[in-house]
Amino acid sequence: MDLLTCQPDLTSADTPVTSPAEPVLLDAGSYGMLRVLARPSIETGDLRCRVSATKAAGTFIVRPHFGYDRFNAATTRLIVHYGGEPPPGSYRGFDRPNRPVLNRTVTLVDYSIVDAAKALAGARTPHALGATIWRHDGGRHSVEAPSRTARHAAAILAALAIHWLQRPDRDQLRLAAARHVLRRGHHLRYTREAIARAESLIDQQQRTLAGERAHLNSMLQLLADGAATRPVLPRLPLTLTTGDP
């Protein structure tokens, strides 16, 4: 799955290499404890979390979010997709299987971006986490979730983010995810284009600088030539006169 386009990686037909699922128990605050089967992928850096709780059930795929333009290899930001991997050829969040359902009525859709460092510092609301929560409208569209649902989802996201941040294999997952994303080429292409734009601006500024220096030198030379050729006026004798004119 491509971090930037939410599309599956079609460059390899192999199934991503995953480690065995690990059962963990996470605290979602007032929303209770979450029973989670966490399965990391050592190929893509994804952490596939199957959540089961009294008022929440479904799959969350957690992966590092390196930024759309400036690549940050040490990021603590995460992109969390709602549901498992979509079927081949499908890129829509609606097509993801086992999308999370809250309170047995609200189905989450698409993805949210959260900062695990903020979650560790105590952020638990969508606003504090910097996350937007989307729900299925019952048709083929998504709408922003109401505040009550969004707070519930944010508590789950915070618990998953803290778990990711504190995992002993966090750095390995982040490194695998970074290489997986870089292989797609977007960040490399963007950076090469940025370098080309900067070099073009440098060339333009160097031509402007050369022109201004030439202009300054021509003015200085004009002054120097004038000082060298300036005529010397003869000094007239001083004549004193007396008497009436």
Instruction: Clarify whether residues 80 and 143 are in a common domain.
Output: yes
Residues 147 and 171 in one domain: yes
- Looking at the fold, whether 84 and 149 belong to one and the same domain comes out as yes
Q: Residues with Cβ < 8 Å from 115, sequence gap 6 or more? A: 76, 77, 78, 123, 129, 130, 161
Q: Tell me the chain's radius of gyration from C-alpha atoms.
A: 33
Q: Are residues 178 and 201 in the same domain?
A: no
Per-residue pLDDT at 11 exceeds 80? no
Model confidence at 226, pLDDT cuts 50, 70, 90, reads: confident
pLDDT of 44 above 80: yes
Residue 211 and residue 104 share a domain = no
When pLDDT is cut at 50, 70 and 90, the band that residue 160 belongs to is very high
Neighbours of 75 (CB within 10 A): 17
* Host domain of residue 30: 22-184
Same domain, 159 and 213: no
Is 6's pLDDT higher than 70? no
Domain count, the chain: 2
pLDDT at position 89 is 73
- State the pLDDT at residue 1: 33
Share of the chain above pLDDT 90, in %: 52
90 and 126 in a common domain: yes
Same domain for 199 and 180? no
Phi then psi for residue 76, to 5 deg, are -110, 5
Taking only the tens place, the pLDDT of each residue in 167-220 is 999 999 999 999 988 887 777 777 788 888 999 999 999 999 999 999 999 989
Q: What are the pLDDT digits (tens) for 137-159?
A: 766 677 888 899 999 999 999 99
What's the pLDDT tens digit per position in 19-39? Answer: 788 899 999 999 999 999 999
Structure tokens at 104: 């047995």
Percent of the chain with pLDDT over 70: 83
Do 85 and 136 have their domain in common? Answer: yes
